[in-house]
Amino acid sequence: MSAARTSSRRPRGDGTVYYDDTRDRWIGAVTIGGRRRKVTAATKTDARARLATLLAAKTTGTPIDDRSHTVAQAVDVFLARDLPGRRRNGRPLAPATLTGYRWACDIIVNRLGTIRLAVLTVEDVEAMYDELAARDSGPSAAASLRKIRTTLQQVITLAVRRRKISHNAAVSATMPNSASQAKPRRALTPPNARRLLVALRGERNGAMFALSLRVGLRPGEAAALWWDDIDGAVVHVRRGRQAVGGRVEVVDDLKTEASRRAIELPPDLVAWLADHRKAWLGEKLAATSWHDDRLVFPSTTGRVLSPSNVRRDLAAICQHAGVPITRPNELRHSCASLLSHIGVPNEQIADLLGHTTTRMVDQTYRHRLRPVVDVAAKADWLTTGG
C-alpha cells in the first residue's frame, strides 16, 4: 500500500481514517455512544471532512443519521405510531382522511421506499413529483400530488423527531409548475345562480345539484343519499361517495365527523324532491335492470354516479343555461357565498356546510360577489355623530 493510502492515526476518541482495498473507498470510523459509526468517501480529504461532521455531532449532541433507516421504514412508523393518534377539532380523523393518507403512503413507498433516509436528496423527491405530474394532469391530479408532498413531509418530520435523520429533504423539494397551486374556486353570482336553478329543474338529477347549491352538500354527499335519509323537510347527511378498488361506492363515513348533520330544506326543494321521486319510480319500473333501490340520484342503471360523469353533466347544463361553467364542488362554494352575500353569519354557514369552526368558510368557501364594495359609502363615519 502506498504512503498516500496508509491509515491516519488520530488522538484517542477522534476516530480513524483508513483505506479499504476491497471497496476502493476511504473509511472514517469513530465510536459514539458505544456504537461504531462509519463514513465513506472517494478521497482521504472527504473522509476526514465527513468524520469531522460526526465528531461535531458528538460534541454538540446533534442527532446522527441512522444510515440504515429507509423511507419505507419511516412510512411504517408514521402509519403505526403517528397517524392513529391524530385528532382534528378534538375528534379522530375520519376514515376517508385516513384512507387518503394510506393512499399517499403507498405511492411514496412504491417510488422511494428502498432509499435510505440519510441519503435521500431533494433531487430524489423532485424526480418523484415530476414523474407523477407527467403521468396525470388536471386539477384532481394536482391536488393528489400536493397530498403526496404533504404526507412525505410529515413522514420525514416524524423521523427527524425520532432522531433517525437530521434534515428533511422533502421540505426543500419544489413541485412542478403544473401542480404548484390549486386551481382557484369560483362562486356563482345571484343572477347566475337563479338562472342555473331554472335550468336544473328540468334535468334528470337536477335536484342533486340543487342540494349542493341551496344547502351546501358536498358532491359526494349528494350522490350518496338514500331515500331513508330524507325525512319530510329534513335531509340527514350520513354517507359519502368513495372510489374503492377502481369502483365508485357509497361508504358509511364522511370527510369529517362534523359532516354528519341534519339539514332542513327550503319548501321548494321539498316539492322538487317529491317530483324527483315520482320520476325515479317511473324510470325504475321501465328499466330492464336496476342495481340499488336506495339511491336517490342513481345512474340510468341504478348505480352510483361517477364524479367524471357528474362534472360533465353539470358543465353541459351550465353551458345550455348560459352561465359560467361550474364544477360540482363550486356549487357548495356558491351556497356559502350567496348566504354570506345576504348577511347570514359565518357561524351558521359553517354549521350548514358541516364545519366545526368558521375558518374554512372565511378562508375557502366565502367569495365576494359584489362587483363594487360599497360598505364605506353606506357606512360613512364622516357624516355620523359621536
Site of grid cell 374554512: 360
Cα 44 off chain centre by: 47
Look up residue 349 and give its three cell numbers: 354557514
- Domain residue ranges in the chain: 3-60, 71-179, 190-365
Q: What residues are paired with 115 via a beta bridge?
A: none
27-36, 96-105, 303-312: the lowest-pLDDT one? 27-36
The answer to whether domain 71-179 and domain 190-365 are alike in fold is no
What is the DSSP code (8-state) at residue 178? G
Q: Provide the pLDDT for residue 108.
A: 96
Q: Is 209 exposed, middle or buried (0-12, 13-18, 19+ CB in 10 A)?
A: buried
Cβ-Cβ contacts under 8 Å for 166 (sequence gap 6 or more): 57, 62, 63, 64, 65, 160
Q: Provide the pLDDT for residue 233.
A: 95
Tens-place pLDDT, residues 168-226: 889 989 888 765 455 667 899 999 999 999 999 989 999 999 999 999 999 999 999 99
Q: Are the beta carbons of 215 and 230 closer than 8 angstroms?
A: no
Average pLDDT over residues 94-118: 89
Tell me the whole-structure pTM to 2 decimals.
0.64
Indicate the CATH number for domain 71-179: 1.10.150.130
Looking from the CA of 384 toward its CB, the CA atoms found within 13 Å total 7
Name the CATH code of domain 190-365 (choices 1.10.10.10, 1.10.443.10, 1.10.3720.10, 3.20.20.70): 1.10.443.10
Give the helix ranges, DSSP H, for 201-327. Answer: 206-215, 219-223, 267-286, 307-321
Q: Are the beta carbons of 315 and 309 closer than 8 angstroms?
A: no
Q: Are the beta carbons of 321 and 195 closer than 8 angstroms?
A: yes
